Amino acid sequence: QAFLSVTSILNVAVFRDHLVLEDLVEEMKKQSPALSFGPLQPSGQIAVQGPFPALRVLREFLLLKAKSLSEEGKREGKSHQRPRRKLQEHRGATEARSSVWDAHKEKEVLVLDTDIYHYMRHFYPTAFQANDVVISGVTDGDITTVCMESAGRKVGAAPGSRVKETIENLSVKLQNILRKERLCFREHSIGEKLRYKQLCERLKPRYPTVLIIPYDTHIDFVGTSTAILGFKEQVR
């Protein structure tokens, strides 16, 4: 399996209070003509399939729309608030400092294929390490959203942007050379799973560039074409 097409289940229910979901789906289809959309479920979930770069663009489009609606809601909320007296002086001072601090923070978001994200985390951990930047990842099926937030006090340094560029460039490079193979369990017994796990551990030193991702019903192997096919053949 090459990293040419992925399927993701998107939950657009968060937009229900602000938009008509059917209209949002139509907007998504116009925004991403290269993607295939399944039916919109009553729960607000919708299956989307297509090239990973196009799916990543759609995900970022939705994140920006959510942020825009959130900021609009905050502005409307403030416009309806009545003036109130100041809170206690020490609390007011703390909140003022927090506001200045938050204004100087920088936040970047990047959407990656989950298997490539795991491969990068395992073999290129330094890509996710940077001074004054807090990096976190949230996995949702085939897609992992990586958030990079500045934790330092240096205004204008933009460390998050540099980290995002590093991770993005590496992910594009890996996407062109990696592939994934899956080995499904014939039985779901604990003994069979244990035998496969032990076998993979024994073979790992011979294939140091292969990432092994075990699941309850199968094992995924991620690596270059030559390494991955050789590893899977040895396992068989």
Whether residue 207 contacts residue 227, with contact meaning beta carbons closer than 8 Å, is answered with: yes
Residue-level pLDDT at 1: 53
Q: What is the pLDDT of residues 70-117, one digit of tens each?
A: 776 555 555 444 443 332 333 333 333 333 334 445 677 787 888 899
Residue-level pLDDT at 208: 93
Comparing CA positions, the residue from 82, 203, 113, 104 lying closest to residue 160 is: 104
Please give the Cα distance from 166 to 150 (Å, whole number): 15
Over residues 43-47, the mean pLDDT reads: 86
Cβ-based neighbours of 47, under 8 Å, separated by 6 or more: 7, 8, 9, 10, 37, 38
Helix/strand/coil for 183: strand
Residue whose pair of structure tokens reads 């990696």 in the numeric block: 178
DSSP annotation of 99: H
Distances (CA, A) of 81 to 77, 84, 99, 194: 7, 9, 19, 61
Q: Concatenate the DSSP letters of all residues of 35-96 into one string.
A: SEE-PPPTTSEEEEEE-HHHHHHHHHHHHHHHHHHHHHHHHHHHHTPPP-----HHHHHHHH
Over residues 164-173, the mean pLDDT reads: 87
The model carries a pTM of 0.59
Residue-level pLDDT at 207: 93
Q: What is the pLDDT of residues 178-230, one digit of tens each?
A: 988 888 887 778 888 888 888 988 999 999 999 999 888 888 999 998 998 89
Helix (H) / strand (E) containing 234 = helix 225-235
Whether residue 146 contacts residue 110, with contact meaning beta carbons closer than 8 Å, is answered with: yes
pLDDT value at 60 more than 80: yes
Residue-level pLDDT at 96: 33
Residue-level pLDDT at 85: 36
- Angle ∠(27,50,228) on CA atoms, nearest 5: 155
Q: What is the pLDDT of residues 116-144, one digit of tens each?
A: 999 999 999 998 888 878 888 888 777 78
Residue-level pLDDT at 4: 58
Please give the Cα distance from 121 to 144 (Å, whole number): 12
Residue-level pLDDT at 147: 85
Q: What is the pLDDT of residues 139-167, one digit of tens each?
A: 877 778 888 887 765 555 566 778 888 88
